[in-house]
Structure 1
Amino acid sequence: MHFASDNSGPVPQQVLDALHEANTGHVMAYGADPLTDEVTGLIRDLFEAPNAAVHLVATGTAGNALALSTLCQPYQTVFCTPCAHIHMDECNAPEFFTGGAKLTLVPGDDRMTPEALRHAILNEGNRGVHGPQRGPVSLTNATEWGNVYDPDQIKALAAVAREFGLPVHLDGARFANACVALGCTPAEMTWKAGVDVAVFGGTKNGLMGVEAVIFFDPAQAQSFELRRKRGAHLFSKHRYLSAQMAAYLRDDLWRGLALRANTACARLVDGLRDAGFGFANDPVANMVFIRMPRSVHQRAMAAGAVYHIWEGALEGDDPDEILTGRLVCDWSTSDAEIDAFLTVIGE
């Protein structure tokens, strides 16, 4: 009953097989290998972007921080939500790699609105040399609270950014889960909706460790390769990143893995609803934020369930106090795990 994170799950056999296949002989280093060429072509085809610049890194933090550093000057600010991953979970990496650019938190919940974004932009860049200048808008899809932006919502936010001449970055650590939940294509969720740079996540969706940074206008990527090298994120044995991503893209494995995770989550949600528990929001991808009494959380964890308490404290005097727990399903989450969890909380 392991629901702590999709980072915790195993790697599918297709990816391990691709790594084994790549582990033969000598090929050129630093991305000058046939697998990297294949991955670039596959991603361009998938995103319907034949001229896109594609670069691989090993972590989502590197992908986001290096992408933003190419879009943002040190004296600018990045507009994001208060719970954006780049604000909550990356230890100031965007600020570090941009050379000091700040983050401006757009008021609201995990999905910003066009009105809130416009207001935030208008409140920055209006103090001349004395204040931060306006910089990129960063969106997370799926969000840290398990919601998704549909293509029309992204278009509306990108339109506001365009009013001020600002680029749009998409943090796609759970890109595949969002895409599957929305039933849209990667192109519809990115450049067709106004996104300039997208991080196509793989690690949370079954890969050992690789993310693709995609610049839909290759001119915007001119400094990315230099920043990646300077930031110590250029792998010499690059073929092992590319092998993972190639397996991920062949036969739409990325979509199949995300569908399995989302389907497992839907089964979990149905069971939780039947048990009478509430949710912090309407689950749509592969994360559930469940509201249950402290005593139920304690019973579940005592029985071996592994997940995080998101709001509240597991230890306390009131067994009936409602706590919010985050449960995440990955591609390998089984029906048996879900049913065992539902049995425990239903006792």
Structure 2
Amino acid sequence: MNFGSDTTAPAHPLVLKAMARVNTGIEASYGADAVMVRLRETIGRAFETEDFDFWITASGTASNALALSCFCPPTGAILCHQEAHIERDERGAPEFFSGGGKLRLLPGYGAKIDPQAFLEAVRTNSPDFVHETPLHVLSLTNLTECGLAYRPEEISVYAEQAKAAGLVVHVDGARFANALVGTGAMPSALSWKAGVDVLTLGLTKTGAAGCEIIILFGEARAKFAELKVRAKRSGHMPPKMRFLAAQAEAMLTDSLWIRLAGQANLKARRLAEGFEARGYKLAYPREGNEVFVMLPPDVSERLKRAGAVFYAWPGGSSRFVCSWASSDEEADALLAAL
């Protein structure tokens, strides 16, 4: 009954088979291999565009920090939610990689940026005022840290306002596939068609062994050379890149990433409905593979004694995360333990 995180799940067998298949012969190193060439076509099909460049890392923190550092100078700022992963869980990596860039934190229900707070931040931004740190990037997280999804129309509004103010739009997509399934949107609709410039596409939580893709869309491609330089300098240009690329290729082929995210979301719905049927209130609507529920302390302790693994979350809720490998039996055992 481990619902601690989707990062604790194993890699999907098809991912491991793909890595084994590329473990033969000699291949060019540092991203010049044949798998990377094929992967470009695979990403293009998945996102319905050829107007992009990409790089792969082994962690979401590296992807976020590298991507943001290309668009935020040491003297600039990144707008994000006060509960965003880049603020709460990355130990200052965006600031470190950018050489001093600042995170400007905004409020909002369920870790979604409040529209009015965002408009006020953009309205009062004054790049020519020497005493102020000017805004350069808007960073959204989809799914948010509280499991909520930004829909295409929401992202479009934020992106339009951000671009009018000269900001680049970044999406932390650690659970992007879960957001796709939850909203029913296509990858293109939830990214470049909505005005996203750079997406850090997470595949590790979805079923890869360790694979995240930085995708630069449209005009943001002008930063691709700098992205590779920063990747090399920071140690995120592995010589045997084919093993990372193979993971991505396996996940994106035949929509495996979407199917696995769908499985995780279904298990989370099973849990959410089970909690509510037993009288426990959800802290936030379930829109992906995470369930946040208000549990009395004695109930929480009873679940832990029964072997359940989950996290206490800020605000008093308990977080349960389902992965592609979560089973109906685990979910039913948890609910039975209530």
SS at match of 2:288: coil
> Hey, what does 1:280 align to over in structure 2?
283
Q: Considering only aligned residues, what root-mean-square deviation do their CA atoms show, in Å?
A: 1.1
Distance verdict in 2 for CA 1:281–1:63, change over 3 Å:
same
Q: Return the alpha-carbon distance in structure 1 between the equivalents of residues 285 and 121 of structure 2.
A: 27
Matched, 1:255 2:284: no
Contact 2:280 2:295 in 1 (8 A): yes
Q: How does 1:40-55 map to 2 (within 5 A)?
A: 40-55=40-55
Label 1:167 to 1:265 Cα distance change in 2 as closer, same or farther (>3 A). Answer: same
Give the aligned residue type for 2:305: A
State whether residues 113 and 157 of structure 1, in contact with CA within 8 Å, keep that contact through their aligned partners in structure 2. Answer: no
Q: List gaps (5 residues or longer) in structure 1.
A: 313-322
Where does residue 292 of structure 2 map in the other structure? 289
C-alpha displacement of 1:112: 1.2
301-310 or 42-51: which moved more?
42-51
1:123-144 residue CA offsets vs partner (Å, 9 max, x unmatched): 3335622221121000000000
Q: Deviations over 1:69-100 (max 9, x none)?
A: 11111101000010111101100000000110
Matched, 1:20 2:20: yes
1:58 is aligned to 58
CA distance in 2, matches of 1:111, 1:192: 20
Counterpart selection for 1:246 from 249, 268, 277: 249
Contact 1:81 1:108 in 2 (8 A): yes
Corresponding residue number in structure 2 for 1:226: 229
Q: Deviations over 1:173-195 (max 9, x none)?
A: 00000011111111000111010
Residue correspondences, number: 335
TM, length-normalised to structure 2? 0.97
Secondary structure of the residue that 2:200 maps to in structure 1? strand
2:207 maps to 206
Q: 1:344 to 1:251 in 2, by over 3 A?
A: same
| Partner Cα distance (1:22, 1:240) in 2 | 7
Looking at structure 2, the residues matched to 71 and 45 of structure 1 have their Cα atoms a distance apart, in angstroms, of: 26
Residue in structure 2 matched with residue 337 of structure 1 by the alignment? 330
Identical positions, percent: 42
- Normalising by structure 1, report the TM-score: 0.94
Q: C-alpha separation between the residues in 2 aligned to 1:127 and 1:275?
A: 57
Counterpart-to-counterpart distance in 1, 2:164 and 2:25: 52
Name the structure 2 match of 1:130: 131
Q: 1:22 to 1:126 in 2, by over 3 A?
A: closer
Written as runs of structure 1 = structure 2, the 5 A alignment for 1:316-335 is 323-335=316-328
CA distance in 2, matches of 1:221, 1:20: 29
- Whether the 8 Å CA contact 1:79–1:137 is kept in 2: the answer is yes
